[in-house]
Amino acid sequence: QVQLVESGGGLVQAGGSLKLSCAASASIFKANTMGWYRQAPGKQRELVARIFTTGTTVYADAVRGRFTISRDNAKNTLYLQMDTLKPEDTGVYHCNTWKTGVGPERSWGQGTQVTVSS
């Protein structure tokens, strides 16, 4: 029943790093663009980064140069390496599929909390 399971979040000081993981079902991972989404307190959920099945990546302006999205197709696992974290990166991070004009398509997992202190 659970198709997406995020992990790796935590509390970190500004300037620190975290690496998030997303274990996905093969049925949704293999043929789909995957993305990391986040929702900060009082804000709408936003797409942070996405990676196509080919490995091509696209980043939101706010994280470009600091975050790296990757995927291991053999393990059906999505990653987000986050470096030089800022307080504004604080939020709940979820993984999901991504499609043009649609965004996420699957049921949300539990997410993982990232808190960056100043």
Running along the chain, 118 residues long, what does each successive block of 10 average in pLDDT? Answer: 91 98 93 96 96 97 98 96 98 97 94 97
* Phi-psi map region of 32: left, alpha, beta (phi>0 left; psi -120 to 50 alpha): beta
83 contacts 66 by C-beta, under 8 angstroms: yes
Quote the CA–CA distance of 42 and 59 in Å, as a whole number: 22
CB burial of 55-64 (b: ≥16 within 10 Å; e: otherwise) equals: eeeebeeebe
pLDDT of residue 1: 64
